[in-house]
Structure 1
Amino acid sequence: MTSDPHTNDRVAQSVARKDDHIRLALEQRRGPASSNDFDYVEPVHHALDGIDIDEVTLDVDVDGWVWPAPIYINGMTGGTDNAERANRALAIAARENGMPIASGSLSIALDAPETAPSFRVIREENPNGLVFANLGAGRSPDDAARAIDLLEANALQLHLNAVQETIMREGSRGFSTWLRDVERIVEAAEVPVIIKEVGFGLSGRVLRQLRDLGVRIADVSGAGGTSFARIEDERSGGGYAYMHHYGQSAVNCLLDAPADFPAVLASGGVRSPLDVIRALALGARAVGVAGPFLVAAMDGDEETAVNETQRWLTQTRQLLALLGAHTPAAATGIDVLLRGRVREFSELRGIDPAAFARRTYN
């Protein structure tokens, strides 16, 4: 560490926070999967729609950029020994199965270079794969360039986490410059910039703001999965329990997304390959998964992570064949029923639920 005691204290706090995040996220993930808004999206089964699985290809087009799989390993962690172990296993899984992978926030590596190896392992274990660096809004274009260089990244995930920062005891309390900060980074970055939330959702209005800034890819990252509001509340000693389920789900964000946004991705609360199909059916170009893969990496080993990610790809392909979709993009043509609170959200936002149920109606 540096010789500045204030900097050392800040770095030590960040390192402890990263391990807290892993521990508390795993506590949320272990045990039965909880219900969320994906359960209110029901694909209509047409018994004669199935095709041969060999007819299904998994490539996806993300704003003219071809990814080899419709599932990506979303940004999670880094900065500690535990995080390095997770990142190594996940990077190997990404390499073996052709999945894109994102790092956790690189802020700690920029401020404390001694922690950089726990992130760099992602590129070392996956030298030819699609790797996304991750950084929070509020950092400078120079910081963004350093983060990209650290991982020789193919893209930058720039995350918006105002809710998390509000609850975090050592978090930021100033967000008024974020829109301009995003614009500056998008203008300066030499790789695609993917704007994402951290589990509270990107509304249609925010997506329109981002589009107008020149953002072409966004991950809505909705509520319903790992709750960083709950994690930071537990770290801070409580008092914010009413915020644990705050935000919009990925399902509702996809429904709310403007039709002319170039490429919308989805994550947050994705528990199974069926949820992947549901997100694709609502317009996601690709789907990010974090919690289930973190459990595989931390509770098992590298082989466990490889096998789990392979299972997700295999079963996603099987479900596409079952539904008669030759590609992930073709899932936007399947009939889906929007029920319960998702239907209510749609109606309140002026979206016609029946249109999704009658896509193949004749």
Structure 2
Amino acid sequence: MNRKDEHVSLAKAFHDKQKNEFDFVRVIHNPLPQTAVADVDLSTQAAGFTLSSPFYINAMTGGSEKTKKINQDLAIVAREADLMIATGSVSAALKDPSLADTYTIMRQEYPHGKIIANIGAGTSVERAQEAIRLFHADALQIHLNAPQELVMPEGDRDFTNWKALIQEIQTAIDVPLIVKEVGFGMTRETINDLASLGVHTVDISGRSGTSFTQIENARRSKRELNYLADWGQSTVTSLIEANEADTSIEILASGGIRNAYDIFKALCLGAKAVGTSGTVLTHLMNHGVEETIMLMKQWQEELRLLYTMVGATNTATLHQQSLIFSGPVKDWCEARGIDLVKYGRRTEKGV
């Protein structure tokens, strides 16, 4: 089986087995919301774009005939729900131009949509520019996936040039750059590091969703690296870490997004927009395009209800919503010296 097809199959198989730390975040109820659903504006500013919804379809797949069909269907879903969408890593097409149409099908289906090209952190400036040209990408994602590479039998073993390449690409390209994890999360130190390279937008993409160490280990004959299945920081703790960074870098969130409530919580934690991959892919493969379009529109409507429930008329005001944390999230923050009391009193203090 093609490696890309294996990834899709394993991602679907493992999807419902992930623990999720969004369950340890509670939103404080507001009995007097003083707003109306009709007043809610879901739009947000992210990566230099104005998006009509505060969530988007994140990077997934490409590079085979099976994944071409998936990319086509995902682009249709994004088009019909008016969502930004990212391609899977286009490295396969850069190495073998005959595979380009497994990605460019997205632009054919979504000619006027916001589409993000995705490349690995070890990609050269020339290849990065080629990826953008491939289907007139509106932005570029560089993914950080060192654990995946190390567990992958045929993966990279040298990451010494990643920072230099990111900085070069940031300077050379003329579209917005997003540096993203692939499900292992980030800390304030990493975010400060990326800001020092000139990066303006980061997707912290934490643990709780698709685990590429788990997927790559399943491809190993002896599956001897099972203990790395939960490697990394969760999406929730990564967002809290981002709020502690010494920079005003723009934060996007992804990793383990199951529903509109998870999106809502991520926005309350400071994300400008939220990416979803595994849930959309699984729903698409189980229920088809039309049902997945309906799910995305349902999430949009549910978000309007959630905004109204806390008295928020727009996405920016969610950052003032009071939150309470428990379990492993609280444990992490105590160990890292992060004060959580300020989150519980946001509404009271208006901060």
Range into which the TM-score falls when normalised by the shorter chain = over 0.9
**1:294 to 1:204, Cα distance in 2 relative to 1, 3 A:** same
Q: Structure 1 pair 130/63, CA: closer, same or farther in 2 (3 Å)?
A: closer
User: Residue 253 of structure 1: which of 238, 245, 267 is its match?
Assistant: 238
2:6 maps to which residue?
A: 20
| Aligned partner letter, 1:249 | S
Cα distance between partner residues in 1 of 2:39 and 2:246: 28
* Conserved 8 A contact 2:40-2:307: yes
Partner amino acid, structure 2, of 1:24 = L
Asked if residue 296 in structure 1 is aligned to residue 300 in structure 2, the reply is no
The answer as to whether partners of 2:47 and 2:177 remain within 8 angstroms in 1 is no
Confirm or deny that 1:158 pairs with 2:142. Answer: yes
Question: C-alpha separation between the residues in 1 aligned to 2:34 and 2:150?
Answer: 48
Cα distance change on mapping 1:75 and 1:64 into 2, 3 Å: closer
**Taking structure 1 as reference, are residues 259 and 71 closer, same or farther at Cα in structure 2, changes over 3 Å only?**
farther
Pairing 1:328–2:315 present: yes
Q: CA deviation at 1:165?
A: 0.0
The reply on whether 1:102 has 2:86 as its aligned counterpart is: yes
CA distance in 2 between partners of 1:305 and 1:112 (Å): 31
Structure-to-structure mapping, 1:253-332, within 5 angstroms: 253-257=238-242, 258=245, 260-332=247-319
Change in Cα spacing, 1:287 to 1:79, as seen in structure 2 (3 Å) is same
Q: Which residue number corresponds to residue 139 of structure 1?
A: 123
Instruction: Name the stretch that deviates more: 340-349 or 127-136.
Output: 340-349
Contact 1:89–1:305 under 8 Å retained in 2? no
Over the matched positions of the two proteins, sequence identity in percent amounts to 39
CA–CA distance in structure 2, aligned partners of residues 110 and 214 of structure 1: 25
**TM-score between the two structures when normalised by the length of structure 2:** 0.96
Amino acid at match of 1:67: L
SS of match in other structure, 1:61? strand
Aligned ranges for residues 210-229 of structure 1 at < 5 Å?
210-229=194-213
Does the alignment pair 1:111 with 2:111?
A: no
Residue of structure 1 aligned with 2:56, choices 69, 72, 76: 72
**Any stretches of 5+ residues in structure 2 without a counterpart?**
none
1:316-354: CA deviations, max 9, x gaps?
Answer: 221111111111221111111011111121222222111
State whether residues 56 and 275 of structure 2, in contact with CA within 8 Å, keep that contact through their aligned partners in structure 1: yes
CA-to-partner distance for each residue in 1:64-88, whole Å, 9 max, x for gaps?
5322211010000001122111111
TM-score (norm 1): 0.93
SS of structure 2 residue aligned to 1:248? coil
Q: How many Å separate the matches in 1 of 2:148 and 2:319?
A: 32
Q: Distance in 2 between matches of 1:108 and 1:160?
A: 17
C-alpha distance in 2 between matches for 1:253 and 1:92 = 31
For 2:326, which of 339, 343, 350 is the aligned residue? Answer: 339
CA contact (8 A) 1:222 1:253 kept: yes
Check the 8 A contact 1:59/1:69 in 2, yes or no.
yes
Alpha-carbon distance, 1:236 to partner: 1.2
Residue-by-residue CA offset, 1:2-41 (whole Å, 9 max, x unaligned): xxxxxxxxxxxxx711000000001012x5x643111111
Q: What is the CA–CA distance in structure 2 between the aligned matches of 1:155 and 1:350, rounded to whole Å?
A: 35
Does the 8 Å contact 2:30/2:311 carry over to 1? no
The offset of 1:62, in angstroms, is 2.0
Change (3 A) 1:259 1:286: farther
- Equivalent position SS for 1:360: helix
Within 1, Cα distance between the matches of 2:173 and 2:186? 22
Aligned equivalents of 1:34, 1:65: Cα separation in 2: 31
Superposed CA deviations along residues 236-256 of structure 1, whole A, max 9, x for unmatched, are 120111100000011111111
Provide the alpha-carbon RMSD of the alignment. Answer: 1.4
Partner SS for 1:254:
helix
Q: Secondary structure at the residue paired with 1:205?
A: helix
